[in-house]
């Protein structure tokens, strides 16, 4: 039977429920700008009713079911996957950007310009074979070219070292993030076994998983207690029983424990791909340098057994190529002609003609370098295009996530008003009941 | 907008290979070609100077030889006194020296008629050739070479390498001997005839130089036209259309401002604004 005290109880339940909902709304508002936070709702349900004989079912007020967070796990997964691809090409594009700055083309300071200057100097010498100053200019222009090549090669080398450092740093980041997730998993387990939902811990873990996905695209599954299992390429990184660190071996292969895995997309792969491009460019640059130096040397010094008269020395790599020290010291060792006659500039002329000469591999010396620049440009352009595509995709997904999980101040304020009014109404019921009891106890009867 | 800004500040369509790799490759090629072409231009200009100096020297040589010819005709006159003949002989000797001097002209410190021995005087005082018979080559355009006629022996020797080879130096020696001996028959006969042949030879060499000079002039004209074309081509590829880019930048700027002000407007109202 419903008595006044029963109703009082119902009103109290209402008060408590509205207050809790208000509290949650306040929690949402205070976390409106928290990274990775998902808005929460108190789920309310009508409490069990009982049968009043001759009347029927009578309700007994509200019951708080649970506090749930509003998330779309599928969107979160998509965000993680697209984020991996985005970060991969983003770091690649950043690294190649630096490479472009190093190559510095088109410009009047790069290799292309200096190569031309050197050939021009040879032609100038062919006109003035008697002149020592024309020889000096040939040496100086060749030196400028060689120094530019050395400088660029060194810069590429240090960019490579820096990129390798980034890989190591990201592997450290990955491992420490996995450790944090492991700790969260344990906390989540402790709460889940009691049958409760640790909303805020889950939010924190989602955020860490997103961080993880920017480094490497991980596969994530959840067990019955809500613990996250992390796999990479089918191998376990973290589950309830084991935790394996990732690493990198000297061949640039990613390891889990000691097993080699195919690198998953993400920052690490982006850096690995950048290094591949850098190594390619270094090799092509070496090839260009070697071909340029060999051809000039061959024309200037016809004796293959004696390198004293070579222009370039140590030309196996772009890093080491230099002017033959003997010629550098004594510029008059430059031989402009084929005969001993001072007016013979035919040799210098032939060297200057090298710039248009089609070599056995079908390319000219300047076109070899041109090719390097074009290739770098094309791979950077490709990465840039993918980055901008992924950016759009990622933004749409984040927007979608926001529409589900984000906190809307307007909505929360409306909720606050709603719960406030409901609270007031419940309180009003109590005061009415109070009046009723007053009438009943104090003014009825005697 | 950032791209437009970089285009406007540099004046170039592309500043990085990745913005348009193939265009940059083309631009680099064009720059190479232009640089090469400018080098050819300087070569042609220098070579024209060289050839003009040669022509001038040959003109001087020609008038000197003509004067020697006049002196021979004068000296062949049997009625001349001993003193007059001596005076004529002296003048011929001086003219021979003059001839050697004018043919030893140098251009930019280099002798122009001594083959590739450009630092050695081609003719001694007796007009004997000291140079070699190698010609000097100049590249005036890709794959195009011009050979300079620098073999001084070519115009001072008749029938070179054959049995009846005759050097101008020997002829002049004979002329002087004939003048000293008063051998007017030889002077007016064979010696005069031989000198005429030499004069023809010098003239034909001079016309050869003239032909080279014409070729160089044409090459220079072509080179400059080509340079202009290449620069035009480069500019079309590389330089921005300022008016167009400014318009684009302004359009983008107004769109940007509009979206900023719209952004400011939609951000403003909130439920909180309407609650006490």
Of B36, B42, B117, the CB nearest to A341: B117
Residue in B31, B115, B143 closest to A106 by CB = B31
Over 50: is that where the pLDDT of A228 sits? yes
What pTM did the predictor assign?
0.82
Q: Where are the alpha helices (DSSP H) in A56-198?
A: 73-103, 111-127, 132-192
Size of interface A-B (CB pairs under 8 A): 135
- Per-residue pLDDT at A52 exceeds 90: no
Shortest Cα distance, chain A CAs vs residue B124, angstroms: 19
**Residue A73 phi, psi (nearest 5):** -60, -30
Cβ–Cβ contacts within 10 Å for residue A53, how many? 6
Is the distance from CB of B120 to CB of B114 less than 8 angstroms? Answer: yes
What's the CA gap between A389 and A127, in Å, rounded? 56
A30: Cα separation from own chain's centroid? 30
For residue B158, the surrounding DSSP H or E stretch is strand B157-158
Among A141-150, B54-63, B119-128, the range scoring the smallest mean pLDDT is B119-128
pLDDT score at A140: 95
Q: Test A409 with B139 for CB contact under 8 angstroms.
A: no
Q: Rounded distance, CA A379 to CA A273, Å?
A: 11
Report yes or no: A91 and A271 within 8 Å, Cβ to Cβ: yes
CA-nearest of B189, B180, B112 to B152 is B112
Tell me if A356 and B35 make a contact (CB, 8 A cut-off): no
Q: How far is A32 from chain B (nearest CA, A)?
A: 14
Answer whether A397's CB lies under 8 Å from A391's CB. Answer: no
B17, B47, B116 member nearest A373 (Cβ): B17
* pLDDT exceeds 90 at position A11: yes
Cβ-contact A89, A303 below 8 angstroms: no
CA distance A141 to A121: 7
pLDDT at B34 over 80: yes
Contact A88, A270 (CB under 8 A): yes
Distances (CA, A) of A121 to A64, A147, A314, B179, B227: 89, 16, 22, 54, 19
Residue B4 has a pLDDT of 82
- CA dist., res. B149 & res. B135, Å (int): 6
Of A344, A374, A380, the CB nearest to B25: A374
Which of B10-14, B157-161, B202-206 ranks highest by mean pLDDT? B202-206
- Contact (CB<8Å) B137/A127: no
Chain A nearest-CA distance from B269, in A, is 10
Query: How big is chain A by its Cα radius of gyration, in Å?
Result: 38
What element of type H or E holds A67?
Answer: strand A62-69
Find the helix or strand (DSSP H, E) in which B203 lies.
Answer: helix B192-238
Burial of A325 (0-12, 13-18, 19+ CB in 10 A): exposed
- Flag whether residue A113 sits within 8 Å of chain B, measured between CB atoms: yes
Q: Per-residue pLDDT for A357 more than 50?
A: yes
C-alpha A100/C-alpha B20 separation (Å) is 13
**pLDDT at position A446, please?**
62
Helices (H), B76-138: 82-103
* A chain contacts of residue B132, beta-carbon cutoff 8 Å: 341
pLDDT digits (tens, 9 = 90+) for A386-403: 999 999 999 999 999 999
Local confidence band at B39 (pLDDT 50, 70, 90 cut-offs): very high
For the cut 80, the answer to whether the pLDDT of residue B200 exceeds it is: yes
pLDDT score of B267: 64
Q: What percent of chain A has pLDDT over 70?
A: 99
* Cross-strand pairs, A43: A66
Query: What are the φ and ψ backbone dihedral angles of A289, each rounded to 5 degrees?
Result: -60, -45
A358 in contact with B, Cβ within 8 Å: no
Q: What is the mean pLDDT of residues B208-222?
A: 94
Judged by CB atoms closer than 8 Å, whether chains meet at A100 and B114 is answered as no
User: What pLDDT, on the 0 to 100 scale, is given for residue A1?
Assistant: 46
Q: Where are the beta strands (DSSP E) in A194-249?
A: 219-222, 228-232, 235-238, 246-248
Could you report the per-residue pLDDT of A12-21, keeping only the tens digit for each? 999 999 999 9
Nearest CA of chain B to the CA of A54: how many Å? Answer: 48
Min Cα distance B194 → chain A (Å) is 33
Section B234-241 average pLDDT: 88
Whole-angstrom distance, CA of residue A143 vs CA of residue A155: 18
DSSP letter at A339 equals S
A353/B contact by beta carbon, under 8 A: yes
Name the one residue in this structure whose structure tokens are 């160089």: B216
pLDDT at B115 over 50: yes
pLDDT digits (tens, 9 = 90+) for B56-101: 999 999 999 999 999 988 888 878 888 888 899 999 999 998 999 9
Q: Judge: B28–A126 Cβ closer than 8 Å, yes or no.
A: no
Phi, psi of A52 (to 5 degrees): -100, 115
- B-interface mutation test, from A94, A97, A106, most B Cβ less than 10 A away: A106
B-chain CB neighbours of A413 within 8 Å are: 271-272, 275
For residues B155 and B167, what is the distance between their CA atoms, to the nearest angstrom? 9
- Residues within 8 A of B (CB atoms), A 65-104 only: 96-97, 100, 103
Q: Where are the beta strands (DSSP E) in A169-304?
A: 219-222, 228-232, 235-238, 246-248, 254-256, 259-261
Rounded Cα–Cα distance for residues B118 and B116 (Å): 5
Overall residue count recorded for chain B in this entry: 276
Nearest CA of chain B to the CA of A224: how many Å?
41
- As a whole number, mean pLDDT of residues A31-40 equals 91
Taking CB atoms and an 8 Å cutoff, what residues of chain B touch A339? Answer: 116, 134
Which of A112, A120, A381 minimises the CB distance to B21? A381
**pLDDT of B108:** 85
The chain-wide mean pLDDT, for chain A, equals 92
In chain B, which residues have their Cβ closer than 8 Å to the Cβ of A96?
Answer: 18
Most confident of A124-133, A147-156, A246-255, B180-189: A147-156
Instruction: State the pairing for strand pair A219-222/A228-232.
Output: antiparallel
pLDDT band at A305 (very low <50, low <70, confident <90, very high): confident
Q: How many residues are given for chain A?
A: 446
- B46: closest chain A residue by CA: A127
Q: How far is A107 from chain B (nearest CA, A)?
A: 9
According to the model, what pLDDT value does residue A2 have? 67
Best of A377, A378, A380, A417 to disrupt the B interface by mutation (most B CBs within 10 Å)? A377
User: How far apart, in Å, are the Cα atoms of B15 and each of A152, A196, B3, B137?
Assistant: 18, 59, 10, 40
Tokens of A238: 């973290």
Please answer yes or no on whether B117 and A127 come within 8 Å at the CB atom: no
Residue B136 is nearest to which of A106, A112, A343, comparing CB atoms?
A: A343
Residue B181 has a pLDDT of: 86
Chain A partners within 8 Å of B14 (Cβ): 106
């Amino acid at each position: 039977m419903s008595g006044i005290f029963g109703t009082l109880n119902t009103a109290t339940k209402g008060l408590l429920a509205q207050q809790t909902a208000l509290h949650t709304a306040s929690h949402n508002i205070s976390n409106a700008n928290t990274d990775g936070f998902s808005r929460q709702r108190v789920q309310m349900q009508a409490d069990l009713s009982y049968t009043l004989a001759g009347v029927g079912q009578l309700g007994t007020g509200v019951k708080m079911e649970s506090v749930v967070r509003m998330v779309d796990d599928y969107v979160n997964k998509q965000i993680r996957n697209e984020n991996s691809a985005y970060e991969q090409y983003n770091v690649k594009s950043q690294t190649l950007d630096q490479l472009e700055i190093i190559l510095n083309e088109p410009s009047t300071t790069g290799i292309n310009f200096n190569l031309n200057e050197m050939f021009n100097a040879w032609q100038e010498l062919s006109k003035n074979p008697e002149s020592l100053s024309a020889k000096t200019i040939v040496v100086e222009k060749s030196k400028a070219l060689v120094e530019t090549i050395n400088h660029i090669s060194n810069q590429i080398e240090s960019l490579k070292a820096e990129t390798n450092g980034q890989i190591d740093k990201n592997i450290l980041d990955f491992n420490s993030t996995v450790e944090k997730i492991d700790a969260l998993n344990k906390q989540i387990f402790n709460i889940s076994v009691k049958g409760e939902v640790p909303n805020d811990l889950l939010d924190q873990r989602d955020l860490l998983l997103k961080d993880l996905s920017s480094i490497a695209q991980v596969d994530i599954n959840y067990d019955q207690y809500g613990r996250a299992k992390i796999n990479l390429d089918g191998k376990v990184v973290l589950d309830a029983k084991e935790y394996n660190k990732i690493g990198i071996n000297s061949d640039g292969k990613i390891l889990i424990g000691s097993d080699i895995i195919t690198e998953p997309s993400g920052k690490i792969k982006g850096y690995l791909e950048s290094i591949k491009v850098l190594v390619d460019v270094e090799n092509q640059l070496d090839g260009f340098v070697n071909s340029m130096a060999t051809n000039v040397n061959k024309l200037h010094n016809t004796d293959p057994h004696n390198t004293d008269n070579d222009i370039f020395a140590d030309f196996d790599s772009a890093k080491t190529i230099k002017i033959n020290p003997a010629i550098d010291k004594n510029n008059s060792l430059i031989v402009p002609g084929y005969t001993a006659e001072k007016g013979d500039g035919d040799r210098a002329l032939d060297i200057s003609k090298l710039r248009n000469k089609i070599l056995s591999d079908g390319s000219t010396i300047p076109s070899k370098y041109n090719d390097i620049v074009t290739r770098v440009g094309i791979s950077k352009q490709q990465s840039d295009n993918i980055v901008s595509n992924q950016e759009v995709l990622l933004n749409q997904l984040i927007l979608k996530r926001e529409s589900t999980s984000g906190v809307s101040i307007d909505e929360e304020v409306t909720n606050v008003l709603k719960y406030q009014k409901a609270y007031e109404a419940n309180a009003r019921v109590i005061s009415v009941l109070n009046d009723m009891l007053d009438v009943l106890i104090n003014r009825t009867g005697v | 907008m950032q791209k437009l800004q970089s285009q406007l500040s540099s004046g170039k369509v592309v500043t990085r290979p990745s913005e348009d790799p193939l265009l940059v490759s083309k631009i680099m090629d064009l720059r190479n070609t232009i640089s090469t072409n400018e080098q050819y231009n300087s070569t042609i200009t220098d070579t024209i100077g060289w050839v003009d100096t040669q022509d001038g020297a040959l003109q001087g040589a020609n008038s000197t030889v003509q004067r020697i010819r006049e002196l021979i005709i004068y000296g062949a006159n049997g009625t001349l006194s001993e003193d007059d003949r001596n005076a004529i002989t002296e003048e011929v000797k001086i003219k021979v020296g003059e001839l050697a001097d004018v043919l030893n002209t140098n251009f930019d410190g280099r002798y122009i008629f001594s083959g590739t021995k450009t630092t050695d005087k081609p003719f001694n005082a007796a007009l004997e050739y000291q140079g070699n018979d190698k010609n000097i080559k100049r590249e005036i355009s890709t794959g195009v070479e011009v050979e300079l006629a620098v073999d001084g022996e070519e115009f001072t020797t008749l029938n070179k390498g054959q049995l009846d080879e005759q050097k101008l130096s020997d002829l002049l020696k004979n002329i002087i001997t004939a003048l000293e001996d008063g051998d007017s028959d030889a002077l007016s006969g064979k010696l005069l005839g031989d000198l005429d042949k030499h004069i023809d030879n010098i003239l034909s060499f001079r016309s050869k130089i003239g032909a080279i000079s014409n070729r160089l002039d044409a090459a220079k004209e072509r080179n400059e036209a080509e340079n202009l074309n290449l620069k035009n081509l480069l500019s079309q590829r590389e330089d921005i259309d300022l008016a167009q880019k400014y318009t684009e930048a302004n359009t983008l700027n107004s769109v940007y401002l509009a979206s900023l002000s719209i952004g400011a407007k939609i951000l403003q109202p909130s439920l909180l604004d309407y609650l006490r």
